[in-house]
Amino acid sequence: MAKSKSIAIVLTTFLIFLLLGQMSFRVYAEIIPVAEVKTEVFFNYHWSENVNGRLLQIRTNYVMERIDTVTLTGIPKLTQLRAYGWVEVNGDRIRFLFNTTKYPTDKIYSIFKVKSTSTRTFSGSASPVYEIWDGITFITTASSPLHIEYNHPDNGPYYPSTYDIPPNEASPTTLKGNEKYHRHIPVWIIDDMKKRGNLMSLVGAIASLIAILLSIPEGFTKILAVALGVIGGVLAVLGIAIVIFAEEVLETEMSDGWTWIWGEGKWWRFLWWWQSFGRWRDWGWFFFTTTARGGGGGFNRLR
């Protein structure tokens, strides 16, 4: 009897330790080691540029930081993007901060693909598919047989198009939607970005429109500075060259492109606007700066 009791005690003790071991293992298994990897990109450049007939002296001095989270899977996940520094145009300087923890990586890593070279118009048996977005008629990627790079205002390639906007028009056309301005990017701007590998043609067109919308022509250099700093900095820290941005994000099947601007406003010395680009139409970037001479500040983030 005593022997049976001893065996029962030993077995009970063994089972208790076994259960504790399993519980400990489960707790351990749920704790996944996480490491953060920070990548920094430093900018300190000085150059001259002719934009819209103006000779501009441009200087940049800022840091972009990218934070990636790495787990046992070994696949890094971009979790944060931030920056600080200044951009100066003809002595007009803007200091800015930039921070985001919300980042659509699927929109970034899904852009690299084989592009169609079909750019001709089509008037035979076709099935173009349209959508109304912000009150503007868009040609969509569901169309066939001609390839559509991304949904954009219908200026082709199917004939007749809703809007008579030549792909390589001399001056960019702007369509006014319900809430947004749909700004066309002509072929020559895309080509200039790809040839020279810089953003000046694009940001010059952006700054001109924003200055007109806000009725502040004197704010042109400030707007250009913040657009140049943020767009260039974000692309650099992502490792996406300006040429790739032009070809894979902005460029349509007709070699032109589109950008969208909305929510623009101003109060006292401050001005701001939202903007998105090409294939990233639904990814809004917020720009905020000041028109004060000789200094100022800005905060820029991604929505």
In this predicted model, what pLDDT tens digit does every residue of 204-236 receive, in sequence order? 999 999 999 988 887 788 888 888 878 887 787
Q: Looking at 8-12, 34-38, 201-205, 257-261, which range is the least confident one?
A: 8-12
Q: Which long-range contacts (CB under 8 A, 24 or more apart) does 250-253 make?
A: 250/185, 250/190, 250/193, 250/202, 250/277, 250/278, 250/279, 251/149, 251/190, 251/278, 252/148, 252/149, 252/150, 252/152, 252/278, 253/116, 253/118, 253/119, 253/146, 253/147, 253/148, 253/149, 253/157
The pLDDT, as a whole number, for residue 114 is 43
- Split at pLDDT 50, 70, 90, the class of 81 is confident
Indicate whether 119 pLDDT > 50: no
Sort residue 195 into left (φ over 0), alpha (ψ -120 to 50) or beta: alpha
Query: Region 3-12: what's the mean pLDDT?
Result: 61
Specify the 3-state DSSP secondary structure of 58. Answer: strand
266, two tokens: 């101003």
The pLDDT, as a whole number, for residue 28 is 45
Q: Where are the domains of the chain?
A: 1-31, 35-302
In this predicted model, what pLDDT tens digit does every residue of 138-150 receive, in sequence order? 999 999 999 999 9
In this predicted model, what pLDDT tens digit does every residue of 53-70 receive, in sequence order? 888 898 888 888 888 888
| Cα end-to-end distance, the chain, whole Å | 74
pTM summary value? 0.78
